[in-house]
Amino acid sequence: MAISRRKETSKEKPSPTVFDRKPPQSVESERAVLGAIFLDPNAFQKVLEIFNYNKDNIFYYGPHQIIYESMFRIYQDSQNKPDLQAVAGDLETRKLLDEVGGISYLTELSSAVATSANITYYANTVIENALKRKLIESCSETISKTYEGQIPFKELADEAESNLFALAMQRNTNPIYKLQDFIRTYIDSFEERIRKGELLPGLATGFNKLDETLCGLQSSEMIVLAARPSVGKTAFALNIALHAAKKEGEGVLIFSLEMSKELLLQRLICIQGNLDAQELRRTFARKNLLGDVVKYCGEIETLPIYIDDTPSINIIELRSKARKHLFAHPEVKLIIIDYLQLMNVHRRGENRQVEIAEISRQIKGLARELKIPVLTLSQLSREAEKESSEPKLSHLRESGAIEQDADVVMILYKNKKEEKNKSKDPIHVHLKIAKQRNGPTPTIDFNFNRRKQTFYEIGYFNEDKEYSSAPYIEEEESPF
């Protein structure tokens, strides 16, 4: 392809692509689609679904694009059927009828096909070629900007990937279903769950009360875990991750923007072996500590836990990495992001609130696209400490979009009135289910042993004394 030459000092938007050969197109398929709609205007709904309700630059032949836009206009504005008479009237009103070849060409199109039965095939051909042309244009624009040399490589790469992702999303169209189309599938899956004796439809967290409340972490849901700094949100997420990998046998992908992979490993070792994190950090450790560390590392090294500790990763890059990783490792059933406010967008927004709203929307889209839960950690604003001892949804930092997009919002906090000795372990913390689209919103009490990074639900006893559901014992040391 040839790109129009431009001065190196120009800062204008790159000029449109000039094709030096025939781009992907099928005028006959375009004629077949338009003719089938004239033959059966009700078929226009099928075409809209395949085109993902898009009307821009779908048809290669100019008159065909004008005719399609007229059909779209009639259907959208007046809800009328885009038959031949309606389209001809709309084009004549807007003085475009002659431009498309007059009433004679519209009539010719209506007789171009004998039936509308094959409209899906022809419409798919049209959209495939349209997206290929858009891909050429997008790549040409990237090439042009690259030659100018004024934009850093990382920004160019992020923009190119974003454009490619947007094009890919245009092809992902979910059909509209009638209840009878999927109700049988729902009954079959429900029956299978009962037959297998599955207690939870979602991924178990290892905390009994929490699992009872949420029915596990549900597929396609964005779950937000919010807290003020140093309350334990990362530790809580790692307790869930270790349980999912060790007890449920499911893979976990962790995006850690705040901590290095080595620090996360140290915390996992503490949880697994009930070790004191401060002891691991000391220069002079007890003699038998090395043996303990080696032992517990051996217990967790084969678990399907994957960590990406890229700092300041942007949301487009994160989505791309997540998709690629799940394709290579389908055992992954949970994604953890630590934490949302440290993420960037590929383009600067009007302000940080707009950027956070975009990040939140993209995370929700990721959960739905990959059909797994995404546990997203988030900071609370300082207002959570000023106004009262119990934080609210409105205290989510920097954007109200988080509470709108999230399916579940959990807020972890300490009650100042209950804090008698701040240095004491374990400390009493509350997990408030501030939002749940499909369930109750109680508050669950936990004890958090900060030195050993473990959470215990108060009032639950496990005979094996596993880390995830240990009893509450009123003493400084862990019950183990």
List Cβ neighbours of 168 (8 Å cut-off, separation of 6 or more): none
Rg (the chain; Cα; Å): 28
Model pLDDT, residue 64? 95
Q: Measure the CA angle with vertex 212, ends 208 and 213; round to 5°.
A: 120
Q: What contacts 95, CB < 8 A, 6 or more positions away?
A: none
3-class secondary-structure state, position 205: coil
Residue-level pLDDT at 1: 37
The phi, psi pair for 224, rounded to 5°, reads: -105, 130
Phi first, then psi: what are they for 309, rounded to 5°? Answer: -110, 35
Which of 111-125, 166-180, 301-315 is predicted least confidently? 166-180
Q: Could you report the per-residue pLDDT of 341-384, keeping only the tens digit for each?
A: 888 776 665 677 888 888 888 888 889 888 899 999 988 877 77
| pLDDT greater at residue 399 or residue 194 | 194
Residue pair 66/88 in contact (Cβ under 8 Å)? The answer is: no
- Once rounded to an integer, what is the mean pLDDT over residues 33-49? 89
pLDDT at 301: 85
Give the per-residue pLDDT at 415.
72
Peptide bond before 122: cis, by omega within 30 degrees of 0? Answer: no
The per-residue pLDDT for range 100-145, each reduced to its tens digit, is: 999 999 999 988 888 888 898 999 999 999 999 988 988 888 898 8
Rounded mean pLDDT of 186-209?
81
Average of per-residue pLDDT values in the chain: 80
What integer is the mean pLDDT of 297-324? 85
What's at 474, amino acid-wise?
E
As a whole number of angstroms, the distance between CA 264 and CA 254 comes to 10
Query: pTM for the whole thing?
Result: 0.64
The predicted structure's pLDDT at residue 475: 37
Tell me what pLDDT residue 448 has: 87
Integer angstrom CA distances of residue 331 from 119, 220, 257, 322: 39, 16, 23, 13
The DSSP string of 43-56 is GHHHHHHHTTT--S
Q: Inform me whether the pLDDT recorded for 73 exceeds 80.
A: yes
Asked if residue 283 has pLDDT above 60, the reply is no
Banded model confidence at residue 53, pLDDT cuts 50, 70, 90: confident
* Those residues with Cβ within 8 angstroms of residue 219's Cβ, 6 or more apart along the chain or in another chain: 202, 371, 372, 373
pLDDT over 70 (residue 253): yes
What is the set of domains in the chain, with CATH numbers? 27-171 (1.10.860.10), 201-469 (3.40.50.300)
